[in-house]
């Protein structure tokens, strides 16, 4: 069974840092690009970042560019999101998602999704 | 950035009825559109990709159509488990990958 399990969320003060992790299982992790998507309480979905299967290419949403960094360890089947200078508006449930494409000359859709890890930014 | 607009925001339906959800892109995205279902307290689940291809295990009562800028998700006969929030997502022009604001299908 393909599974993604996020961890590392919690309460952090504004300006603080946090590192999220995602443990992948049930598929060949090194063959797939991975993404982070978040959902603020009661709100919709926001794509945050993409990392290629090799880790050589990354893209970010403007809202987190320069503050968040995504990385991966293919040997450990793990994805990470390092978050710095956190703001109240970063409060959300953070999902690890596998990106899927066919011809891959366009972007990716997401399947499956982890259950998410909650980040709360508050003093 | 491609803006995705979903309508209506809320759809009040009865079990057994046909539900039609709309998603509009701010510019043409060909057929590079996915639909997701999210139930309360759960992660989103992929329903449709390529505008009309059902994901593995998705019941045939879910169908997607459209291309360019106008897309539709149809649930032919609503079951109790289908009351949820539905999101569309474009993957034609990125970054960023963008989602619509969602349509909540609620029980009338």
Which pLDDT score, from 0 to 100, does residue B71 have? 98
Q: How far apart are the first and last CA of chain B?
A: 36
Residue spans of beta strands (DSSP E) within B1-108:
4-7, 10-13, 19-25, 33-38, 45-49, 53-54, 62-67, 70-75, 85-90, 98-99, 103-107
Mean pLDDT of the B89-106 span: 96
Contacts of A112 in chain B (CB under 8 A): 43, 45-46
Mean predicted confidence (pLDDT) in A89-96: 98
Three-state DSSP state, A30: helix
Task: Tell me what percent of the residues of chain B surpass a pLDDT of 90.
Answer: 100
- State how far residue B15 is from chain A, nearest Cα, in angstroms: 25
Q: Which of B37, B95, B100 to mutate to test the interface with A (most CBs of A within 10 A)?
A: B95
Is the predicted pLDDT of residue A107 greater than 90, yes or no?
Answer: no
- Output the average pLDDT for chain A: 96
* Rounded Cα distance, B74 and B54, in Å: 12
Q: What is the mean pLDDT of chain B?
A: 97
Closest Cβ opposite residue A45 in set B87, B91, B92: B87
The Cα B68–Cα B76 span in angstroms is 23
Please report the pLDDT score of residue A106 as a whole number.
Answer: 77
pLDDT digits (tens, 9 = 90+) for A15-45: 999 999 999 999 999 999 999 999 999 999 9
- Measured CA to CA, the distance from residue A4 to residue A20 in angstroms comes to 13
* Residue B14: strand, helix, or coil: coil
Q: Using 50, 70 and 90 to split pLDDT, how confident is the model at A101?
A: confident
The pLDDT tens digits of the residues spanning A70-88 come to 999 999 999 999 999 999 9
CB pairs under 8 A between A and B: 72
What pLDDT digit, counting tens, does each position of B18-71 carry? 999 999 999 999 999 999 999 999 999 999 999 999 999 999 999 999 999 999
pLDDT-derived band at A120, boundaries 50, 70, 90? very high
| CA–CA separation, B102 and B8 (whole Å) | 9
pLDDT at A105 over 80: no
Listed in sequence order, the residues at least 6 apart from A95 whose beta carbon sits closer than 8 Å to its beta carbon are A6, A36, A37, A38, A39, A113, A114, A115, A116, B43, B44
Question: In this structure, how many other beta carbons lie within 10 angstroms of the beta carbon of residue A32?
Answer: 18
Chain A interface mutation, best of B32, B36, B43, highest count of A Cβ atoms under 10 Å: B43
Calculate mean pLDDT across residues B100-107.
97
Of A106 and B5, the structure prediction assigns the larger pLDDT to: B5
Residues of A in contact with B45 (CB under 8 A): 112-113
What's the confidence (pLDDT) of residue B104?
98
């Amino acid at each position: 069974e393909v599974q993604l399990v996020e961890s590392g969320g919690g309460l952090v003060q504004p300006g603080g840092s946090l590192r999220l992790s995602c443990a992948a299982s049930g598929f060949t992790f090194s063959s797939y690009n991975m993404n982070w998507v978040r959902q603020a309480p009661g709100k919709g979905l926001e794509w945050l970042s993409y990392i290629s299967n090799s880790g050589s290419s990354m893209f970010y949403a403007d809202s987190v560019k320069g503050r968040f960094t995504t990385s991966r360890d293919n040997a450990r089947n793990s994805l990470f999101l390092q978050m710095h200078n956190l703001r109240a508006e970063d409060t959300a449930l953070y999902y690890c998602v596998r990106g899927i494409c066919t011809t891959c000359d366009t972007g990716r859709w997401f399947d499956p999704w982890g259950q998410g890890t909650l980040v709360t930014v508050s003093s | 950035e491609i803006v995705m607009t979903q309508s209506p925001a809320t759809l009040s339906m009865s079990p057994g009825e046909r539900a039609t959800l709309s998603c509009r892109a701010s510019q043409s995205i060909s057929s590079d559109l996915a639909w997701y279902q999210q139930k309360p307290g759960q992660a989103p689940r992929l329903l449709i990709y390529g505008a009309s291809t059902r994901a593995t295990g998705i019941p045939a009562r879910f169908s997607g159509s459209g291309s360019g800028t106008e897309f539709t998700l149809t649930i032919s006969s609503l079951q109790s488990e289908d009351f949820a929030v539905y999101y569309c997502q474009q993957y034609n022009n990125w970054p960023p990958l963008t989602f619509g604001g969602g349509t909540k299908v609620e029980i009338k």
